[in-house]
Structure 1
Amino acid sequence: MRENAPPRQLAFDLPLDPRYGREDFLVGPANEAAYALIEAWPDWPDSVLVLTGPAGSGKSHLAAIWAERAHAWTVTAAEVGADAVQHLVSNGALVIEDIDREAARNEAALFHLLNRARELACPVLLTSAAGIDALGLATPDLRSRLRLAPSIAIEAPDDALLRAVLVKLFVDRQLVVDLSVIEALALRIDRSLGRARDLVAELDRDALGRGRRISRPLALAVLRRMGFEDEADAEA
């Protein structure tokens, strides 16, 4: 063992509660259309809106902003069962998350819920990682109903939004990093906010375990470990 090697510390993988306030949502070209539509409520073109985007793109954050505005309940698709439909629509507004998760989806109950919501003028916001035609819905009536509903997509972030999100993710963890670290990460990772979130979490664990601050060399080492060897080596 090297004499000057810093002692290893235990890194506890504690859950980090995301902040879903309006002031915490970062708006850029990738999500400004979706954000504007959420802010436009109740002036929606329909009582049902489908919000799509890849994992970590901000769908749940936007849904939480709307839920606060509309005083809506939030449930997952797995919680939409036949015996729960009347109870769910009785609140007056509803968010249904992750309708793309086929194993947890009760299509008959979801179709019945959308019908009841329309009858009761109950607005519903649904989130999905994929578009309606990619969900593999087996119920034609449900597929038709969702195709007719307005849909808005969150696109891949541009460079400016990616950098801003990286900064926010570090701040959320009370971590201070140099601008060179942000630049090194933004230049090398793919344009995915979910990937950025995973990377910052890995850097946090690694730095805590080693008892070191997050430096550019450490960031490059973690990038390589996470499968970004070519990009990191080309720019190092």
Structure 2
Amino acid sequence: MTGQLPLDLPHRLNYAEEDFLAAPSNREALALLGMWPGWPHRLLVLTGPPGAGKSHLGAVWARRAGAKIVAAQDLALAALPDLAEAPALMVEDADRPLLRETELFHLVNLAIERGTFLLITARKKPDAWGLRTRDLLSRLRRAPSVAIEEPDEAFLRAILVKLFQDRQIKVEANLIDYLALRLERSFAAARNIVAALDAEGLARGRPITRALAGELLSGSAFRPDDHDEDH
């Protein structure tokens, strides 16, 4: 019997504040963003691996602060004055390719000059971005930064549960236990296996079980990718 062809439909990301999963790996970041507007500096850099929750935590902060959200690759010189007029601003994925360094440098300067709160997210600290604009790197180095770390086993279980819930998939507890003991402890690995199980379950027209997970894990290598879909 031919399997059902799965449709690549985007699942809903839930960035509600009550759905952010607090854990030791993000405790410092959660506390520092929660200090707003009492930040030690108007500029803050938030780093973390793909899927760590940077976008989720940033979205929670942006709602509180009334912040605009813009991708670093979409910055344009003509739009910078209007962006800096906002009381707060979140610039996402600053370490991705095609970063507009000149625009980001001017935006940082405008934000400092006008007293705008500026949150910049990236996977790694500024020294690892390969920046050519020395003045921009210098400003970012002087700004406070906080990192979300990879999860421990308990948090990995919670992440798996939430990833399945985001896709409206009900699974048994033994599947979560099975995956948590065998996966690399990373957000990307959790996201990859949940996506693969969802696609395989649809293709075969069968529920997602421990047996199906075993087949996938024994037949494929799940490695973190570069798609930063945060939870």
With normalisation by structure 2, the TM-score equals 0.92
Counting aligned pairs with the same residue, the percent is: 50
Match of 2:135 in 1: 141
Q: Aligned to 2:177, what secondary structure does the other structure show?
A: helix
Among candidates 18, 24, 32, match of residue 29 of structure 1: 24
How do 1:1-236 and structure 2 match up within 5 A? 8-101=3-96, 103-227=97-221
Higher relative contact order (CA 8 A, sep 6+): 2
Q: What is the aligned length?
A: 222
Structure 1 residues 32-56: Cα deviation after superposition (integer angstroms, max 9, x where no partner): 1101111111110000000001111
Structure 1 stretches of 4+ moved >3 Å: none
Question: Is the radius of gyration larger for structure 1 or structure 2?
Answer: 1
TM-score, reference length from structure 1? 0.91
Runs of 5+ in structure 2 lacking a partner? 223-231
Gaps of 5+ in 1: 229-236
Helix, strand or coil for the counterpart of 1:31? helix
User: Aligned partners of 2:163 and 2:73: how far apart in 1?
Assistant: 29
Residue type at the aligned position of 1:188: R
Deviation at residue 10 of structure 1 after TM alignment: 2.5
Aligned equivalents of 2:66, 2:173: Cα separation in 1: 39
Deviation, structure 1 residue 224: 2.5
1 CA distance for matches of 2:148 and 2:104?
Answer: 23
